[in-house]
Amino acid sequence: MNQQDWMLMHRVAAGDEDAVAELYDRFGALVYRVARQLLPTQAEAEDAVQEVFIRLWQTADRYDPRRAKLVTWVMLIGRRHLIDRLRRNSVRGTTRAYEGDPAATSIDNGPDKQPQEAERNIRLLERITELPKLQRIVIERAYLQGYTLREVSQQLEAPLGTIKSALSRGLAKLRERSKADWAV
Amino acid sequence: MTSPEPMTRQELLELAALDGLGLLDSYEAALFTRSFHHAPVAVQDEILRLQAEIASDETLLPDVEPEESLRERVLLRVAEAIEKVDAELAPLATIGKNHRKSDGNDRRPSFRSSGPYWRAAAFILTGSLAVTGYFLMNARQGQDEIAMLALRNLNSDQLIQQIGPDITGYIFNGNVERIVLKPVKADSKHEAVLFVNAEAGTAFLVTNSFTRALDPTYSLQVSVSKKKPAKVLTFMSTGALDGFRTDTIKFTAAITTSMIASATWQITDAAGNILLSSI
């Protein structure tokens, strides 16, 4: 158990400014990158990051280092909040089209946002297109668009177990390929 | 009551990434957590390492950096949120606190200073009491057997562990409408409470003592003014206390916000038999 992380989150729960600042310094950039990946504009991403850190303060007393390392907890809270926001804004589905050609990303987000977003996610989108079809679709819908696995299962009329396996394997492949690219 | 068999090491490792990324629904996340706690320490460590590695993996993320000013904005927003809660908990917060005189110009929200741990404890206690108070309130009304069960057997942390952390977003949310569903048959042990967040278009269903079914067997449906019911959610049961979240309620089409409490909410089995109803 990481005693230091546990203490940090207790200090965050207590509203200690230094602790919140330390939490931001450790994870702010990471949370921001996920926000930029999921949300259509920089302004939305920045606003969402602020909300995520409020949520982290609200939930800090629930952090259990025996159940998750701090980075896992922070990113879990962050992703959940971002996906909730994505759903509230009704962005997913109608406004984000990751499937197929990476250039087709964000077809309804306005002409000025298409190149930015395609550029941001270009590496990921290129790698996704190399995956087998089912893995590609499941990753696009669950990982990038925030659909639950059950929803994806219903959309594709495929067993939930198949969807889970496809996502798990697809993510593992993506990470392997990304690491290999970074090592070059 | 029986529970599903704990997952094997291989199953746990396969689902660890999905759990760490928040991609499992409430039911599956609860199953994963239960199995995690049953796993040997070495397997638990392996899962924690794997999840942390995935969570911190930046190779799949866009290569962008936040503006430097974002740090200050984040700290300011958190300080404002803390100050708001402080104001709401003012009677608690003033106990043992040194008051300082204000010149009236200090309008920037401030973080708590040194020695705030007792106040954090008070806040955490307040949160726990809120859960307990919620259940006590229901128990007094004599309507909600789940409330009694939860109160007898589970503290708030255990409740969260049992049915997933999503429940807190519904219990503590003043905008959430709570609907108790009662068994149609007097001798039935089925219990259910539905929390509906109309603003977000989401709901959280808590069930207890349903016959165990590990495939989606049961359905939650809603109807207004005796119109044809619309299916909201299909779910399974461990045979014990379960929680399910749905994000797909279409209020504009099937039911408006003002109709939530007066609508008829029902749970049916696979054959379409009504097991519980809100009215």
**CATH number of the domain that A66 lies in?**
1.10.1740.10
Shared domain for A125 and A108, answered yes or no, is no
Please tell me whether residues A81 and A141 are part of one structural domain. Answer: no
Task: Determine contact, residues A162/A128, Cβ cutoff 8 Å.
Answer: no
Which of the residue ranges A105-114, B47-56, B244-253, B261-270 has the most confident prediction, judged by mean pLDDT? B47-56
Residue A22, Cβ density class (10 Å: 0-12 exposed, 13-18 middle, ≥19 buried):
middle
pLDDT of residue B156: 57
Per-residue pLDDT, B99:
40
Residues A109 and A149 occupy one common structural domain: no
**In a shared domain, residues A129 and A96:** no
Domain identity same for A4 and A78 = yes
Residues A68 and A74: their CA atoms lie apart, in Å, by 10
Residues A141 and A105 in one domain: no
Q: Final residue of a domain: which of A113, A146, A163?
A: A113
The 10 Å CB-count burial string (b at 16+, else e) for B116-150 is: beebbebbbeebeeebeebbeebbeeeebbbbebb
Residue B44 φ then ψ, to 5°: -60, -45
Provide Rg for chain A, Cα atoms.
Answer: 18
Q: Are B206 and B242 in contact (CB under 8 A)?
A: yes
pLDDT tens by residue, B4-38: 667 888 888 888 988 988 888 777 788 888 888 88
The answer to whether residue A94 scores a pLDDT higher than 80 is no
Q: How does residue B51 score in pLDDT terms, banded at 50, 70 and 90?
A: very high
- Read off the pLDDT of each residue in A31-56 and give the average, rounded to a whole number: 94
Same domain, A13 and A93: yes
Cβ-defined contact of B18 to A83 (cutoff 8 Å): no
pLDDT at A71 over 90: yes
Residue A75 lies in domain: 1-113
* Mean per-residue pLDDT of chain B: 72
Pairing of strands B274-277, B191-197: unpaired
A58, A87: one domain: yes
pLDDT of residue A72: 95
Taking the Cβ of residue A156 and every Cβ of chain B, the question of whether any pair is shorter than 8 Å is answered with: no
Query: Last residue of some domain: A83, A113, A143?
Result: A113
Sorting pLDDT into bands at 50, 70 and 90, what band is A124?
Answer: confident
Q: How close A138 comes to chain B (CA, Å)?
A: 11
Please check whether residue A62 touches B, CB under 8 A: yes
In terms of domains, do A139 and A165 share one? Answer: yes
pTM above 0.90, yes or no: no
More confident: B196 or B102: B196
- HSE at residue B69, side-chain half, CA atoms within 13 A, is 3
Looking at the fold, whether A82 and A123 belong to one and the same domain comes out as no
Show which of A113, A140, A165 is a domain's final residue: A113
| CATH code where residue A118 lies | 1.10.10.10
Q: Are A101 and A133 in the same domain?
A: no
Residue A35 in tokens = 């926000």
* Residue A184 burial (10 A CB sphere; 0-12, 13-18, 19+): exposed
Distances in whole angstroms, Cα of residue B116 to Cα of each of A40, B53, B110, B111: 39, 33, 13, 10
ipTM tops 0.95? no
What is the number of domains present in chain A?
A: 2
Q: CB of B172 within 8 A of CB of A58?
A: no
Cβ–Cβ contact A155 with B under 8 A: no
By C-alpha distance, which of B46, B87, B30, B13 is closest to B240? B30
pLDDT of the residue at A48: 96
The model's confidence at residue B180, banded by pLDDT at 50, 70 and 90, is confident
Are the beta carbons of A75 and B56 separated by less than 8 Å? yes
Which residues 222-261 of B have a C-beta within 8 angstroms of A? 247-248
- A57, A123, A175 member nearest B78 (Cβ): A57
Task: Check CB contact of A142 with chain B, cutoff 8 Å.
Answer: yes
**Same-domain check for residues A34 and A70:** yes
Q: What is the mean pLDDT of residues A45-51?
A: 96
